[in-house]
Structure 1
Amino acid sequence: MAWNEPGGGGRDPWGGGPKGGGSGGPPDLDEVFRKLRDQINGLFGGKRASSDGDGPSPRGPGSVGIGLLAAAAFIIWGLSGIYIVDQGWRGVELTFGKHADTTEPGPHWHWPWPIGNVERVNVEQRRIAEVGYETMQGQSRPVPHEALMITRDENIVDVRIAAQYQVQDPFLYLFNFRMPEETLKQVTESAIREIIGKRELHFVLTEGRTEVARETQRLLQEVMDTYETGLAVVQVAVQDIQPPEEVQPAFEDAIRAREDEQRKINRAQAYANELIPRAQGQAARILEEAQGYREQVVARAEGDASRFDALVAEYRNAPDLMRQRLYLETMEEILGKSSKLMLDSEASQSLMYLPLDKIMGGRTTTGMGQQQPLANIDVADERDAVTPTLRARDALRDRGTR
């Protein structure tokens, strides 16, 4: 049956149900909102609407509700002061705009806004200040007004340098100096210009790069500490030092000539390092040999002098005997080096066998000067081969001994 037909019970889809407010219809939204408003007004001491429709009725203030709401709001406000500092970062706490503390990584609490505030600073990130060039989207391009510098010998050089730095003091970095990073870049350019201006072009282009970077870092750190920027210079790296593009071919020729010169100097130095120790060794050996020869000659001379003194003493005691003895010893020494054999013809027999191999040391000299061994000869009595000269010598020795 349609809602507008007779007998439909007065049902209206836009109405609140049957006239008179039957229990089977949907709830009245106005009534629901009115009850909710009355409850909120009751918490805060507002006026409550009358149930008979004559108007709102007064009610006392809801102090308990206000207290609970204020406590909840204060707890939420206090919890908003909890913050966490990540690893590698530092937290700078401010209370009424004044520095209160610098916190380490971890959870912390501070007065929430508007009483306090926290600024977080990354102290492990390495930042780079580029002088003479700039990097954009992975590509670098030169900056001529920063790169061109003049040396002490009034030459122009193109310098590109990068200074790496970190935040050392977060509070000084944030509040003690305005634009510290831009200041560091300008100070870097000023420092490198001062260092380059005190060096000559040849030194800067060859072996002076390390010294230029080291001195620039030292000077830059001194200025940053003086300004109290809170930045620490980690490293200064020279990216490139070269003459201007217009004169590069001439400088390359000069550099090649200097390299050839240095190579020849190194080669000569290596040869000298090889030759000088050898000569020093030979000189030391010659000195040692001379010293040994000197000691040998001195010792031999001293021995001869001592022996001569002993012979003089014996000669004074028995001049004739010592004269004969010296003569025989001298002749023995002289004839002992000769290959000839002297015999006494009167005392010799008609036939005798001489052990020449034993008398002459087992070897004899041929006409060509070659040494050949003699054949062994059986001798009955070797004492018969002793010459009268040797017998006389032995007799004189025996007599002198007695």
Structure 2
Amino acid sequence: MAWNEPGGGNNKGPNDPWGGGNQGPPDLDEALKKLQEKLGGMFGGGSSSRGGGSGGFPWAAMVIVAVVGLLLWGLLGFYQVDQQERAVVLRFGKYHDTRQPGLRWNPPGIDEVIKINTTKVRASTLSETMLTQDENIVEVKLSLQYVIDDPTRFVLKVRDPERSLQHAAQSALRHVVGGTSMDLVLTEGRAKIGIDVKQRLQEYLNLYETGILVSTVNVDDSKPPSQVEAAFNDVIKAREDEERVKNEAQAYANAVVPEARGQAQRQVEEASAYKEQVIANAEGEADRFNKLLTEYQKAPEVTRERLYLDAVQGVYTNTSKVMVDVEGGNNMMYLPLDKLAEQSQSRSAGGATIDSATLRELTNQVTEQLRRDAAAAGSSSRRGGR
């Protein structure tokens, strides 16, 4: 016999959980009726008939259901706004409030809460093919980073703010690249292009009231289209060769020009030194002449003889051989000054170097020899006359 089968009679079987002899399992309809009767008594409702007849309206059950539903509805209205988020509240579809971080409550079904992360850095990329200022085609890849600065505008002002961001970025990029030459787009001008695109893009986004703040704009790559890449590489190579030749020429100029300037400066300085030397010599000669004139006016004979001796000394200093024309005959007298100087200065090193004393001695010897020759020529002429 199963545990839930009637035990028969009034005997309570050991396996009967209901504790009754001939009592079966509880009737659910009867249990609900008993509960309704108790609740009806508590809230003043009518009692239902035990015989299953028609009773009053189940107000108590509806109140309980309403209370439970109200509690559930109230609990569903609680939500948490994280520190990096802001909550935009719409009441019946109309903007109501923007909630700060913390535990918040809004009536469910009446208010719509849209949470927006305002600290997350979002990224977007785009690639465009466009014309430059000099009518060349380039392909530019751009990447940008942005955050949501105004969640209210981001949610309510524009239907799809991020798509608007893409369109605005394309427009700004085309505007900036269209005003730049191809060389700058492909080389050192990419950083400036990124700055200009960021500024113009932010102006567009502020005008559209998207609530987006652009933080960074980078030009990742810029190159000519693949159809003309080979020709463009040839142009780049030619430009590099041109730059190399310019650098070589500049290096040569840097080596030659300073040397030429140095030589020119040296010649200028030599000319200036020569000028000062000539002026100084002229002034010295003029001063010496004035002093000599003063001495000549005091003693003309002595001064004249001294000048003669100085002139002879100057002539003999520059020569080592002297030819003397003897009066009264057809012969020339040869004076080997170098030999005479060697005899008088046997210990001196070098060639025929004649000082003032030696020259004076040689002059005296020559003068004495000339006198003797003149005397001899005079005596012979007197004898011939006799």
* Range into which the TM-score falls when normalised by the shorter chain: 0.5 to 0.7
Q: Aligned runs of 1:101-112 on 2, under 5 Å?
A: 108-110=102-104, 112=106
Task: Give the TM-score, by structure 1 length.
Answer: 0.57
Deviation at 1:84, TM superposition (A): 3.1
**How many Å apart are 1:237 and its aligned residue?**
0.7
Tell me which of 121, 126, 139 is aligned to 1:125: 121
Is residue 319 from structure 1 mapped to residue 314 from structure 2 by the alignment?
A: no
Aligned to 2:339: none
- 1:364 aligned to 2:350? yes
Q: What root-mean-square deviation, in Å, do the aligned CA atoms of Structure 1 and Structure 2 show?
A: 5.3
What is the TM-score of this pair, normalised by structure 2?
Answer: 0.59
Partner of 2:166: 185
**Secondary structure class of the residue paired with 1:365:** coil
CA distances 1:36-77 after superposition (whole Å, capped 9, x unpaired): 9999999xx636999xx9xxxxxxxxxxxxxxx9xx999979
Partner residue in 2 for 1:349: none
Q: 1-side partners of 2:89 and 2:280: how far apart?
A: 97
Q: CA deviation at 1:337?
A: 5.0
Does the residue aligned with 1:363 lie in a helix, a strand or coil? coil
Matched, 1:243 2:225: yes
User: Of 10, 13, 17, which residue of structure 2 is paired with 1:11?
Assistant: 13
In the alignment, what sits opposite 1:225?
206
2:307 aligned counterpart, secondary structure: helix
Instruction: Write the deviation string for residues 142-185 of structure 1: whole angstroms up to 9, x where unpaired.
Output: xxxxx3x3345555x24132131211513343433332221222
Provide, for residues 203-257 of structure 1, a one-character-per-residue CA deviation record: whole Å limited to 9, x for no partner.
6556655554444344333323333332215123142321352x44444444433
CA contact (8 A) 1:159 1:242 kept: yes
Structure 2: distance between partners of 1:162 and 1:39 = 75
Corresponding letter in the other structure for 1:267: E
Q: Check 1:34–1:6 CA distance in 2 against 1; reply closer, same or farther (3 A cut).
A: closer
What is the Cα deviation at residue 292 of structure 1? Answer: 2.7
**8 A contact 2:7–2:13 mirrored in 1:** no
Query: Cα distance 1:116–1:292, how it changes in 2: closer, same or farther (>3 A)?
Result: farther
CA distance, structure 1, for counterparts of residue 99 and residue 287 of structure 2: 98
TM-superposition CA deviations, 1:99-143 (whole Å, max 9, x none): 75685xxx64555455795623243524123123xxxxxxxxxxx
Q: CA deviation at 1:33?
A: 9.8
State the match for 1:57 in structure 2.
Answer: none
Unaligned runs of at least 5 residues, structure 1: 22-26, 54-68, 133-146, 342-352, 372-383, 392-402
Quick one: structure 1 residues 83 and 183, their matched pair in 2 at CA, closer, same or farther if it must change by over 3 Å? Answer: closer
Tell me the percent identity.
32
Q: Is the 8 A contact 2:295 2:303 kept in 1?
A: yes
Q: Determine the C-alpha separation between the residues in 1 that align with 2:99 and 2:317.
A: 109
Q: Is the 8 A contact 2:146 2:215 kept in 1?
A: yes
> Is the 1:192–1:216 contact (alpha carbons within 8 Å) kept by the matching residues of 2?
yes
Measure the CA separation in 2 of the matches of 1:288 and 1:36.
129
Letter aligned with residue 86 of structure 2 = G
Matched-pair contact (CA < 8 Å) for 2:142–2:220: yes
Tell me: CA distance 1:41–1:260, structure 2 relative to 1, closer, same or farther (3 Å): farther
In 2, distance between residues paired with 1:111 and 1:315? Answer: 132
Matching residue of 1:271: 252
Instruction: Report the alpha carbon displacement of residue 336 of structure 1 after superposing the two structures with TM.
Output: 4.3
Which whole-Å CA distance do the structure 1 matches of 2:39 and 2:251 have between them?
Answer: 101
Output aligned runs, 1:54-133, within 5 Å: 80=78, 83-85=81-83, 89-92=84-87, 94=89, 98=95, 108-110=102-104, 112-113=106-107, 117=113, 119-132=115-128
1:150 correspondence with 2:149 = no
Separation in structure 2 between the aligned mates of residue 73 and residue 205 of structure 1, nearest angstrom: 63
> Over alpha carbons, which structure has the higher Rg?
2
**Cα separation, 1, equivalents of 2:74 and 2:251:** 83
- C-alpha deviations, 1:333-389, integer Å up to 9, x for none? 444455679xxxxxxxxxxx84543xxxx31329xxxx9xxxxxxxxxxxx989558
- 1:12–1:153 Cα change, 3 Å: same
Check the 8 A contact 2:124/2:145 in 1, yes or no: yes
Among 255, 266, 270, the alignment partner of 1:289 is 270
